[in-house]
Amino acid sequence: MYSVNIIIGSQMGSAEYVGEQLAEQLISQGITTEVHDQPDFSQIDQANTIWLLCTSTYGAGDYPENLLPFINDLNQVDDLKGLKFSVIGLGDTSYDTYNLAGRNLEQLLISKGAECTAPRLELNILDEELPEDTALAWLPEWIEINNLKTQ
CATH code: domain of residue 35? 3.40.50.360
pTM, to two decimals:
0.95
Q: Which residues of the chain have pLDDT under 50?
A: 151
Q: What is the pLDDT of residue 128?
A: 82
Please enumerate in sequence order all residues whose Cβ is within 8 A of that of 80, keeping only pairs 6 or more positions apart, or say none: 46, 109, 112, 113, 114
Q: In whole angstroms, how far apart are CA 99 and each of 1, 36, 79, 84?
A: 31, 20, 25, 21
Domain count, the chain: 1
Averaged pLDDT score across all residues of the chain:
94
Residue 118 lies in a domain: yes
Residue 59 has phi, psi (to 5 degrees) of 60, -130
Q: Give all strands (DSSP E) within 1-151, no chain letters.
A: 3-9, 33-36, 49-56, 84-91, 115-116, 121-124
Residue 150 lies in a domain: no
Q: On the CB side of 85, how many CA atoms lie within 13 Å of its CA?
A: 27
Domain range enclosing 88: 3-145
Q: What is the pLDDT of residue 150?
A: 59
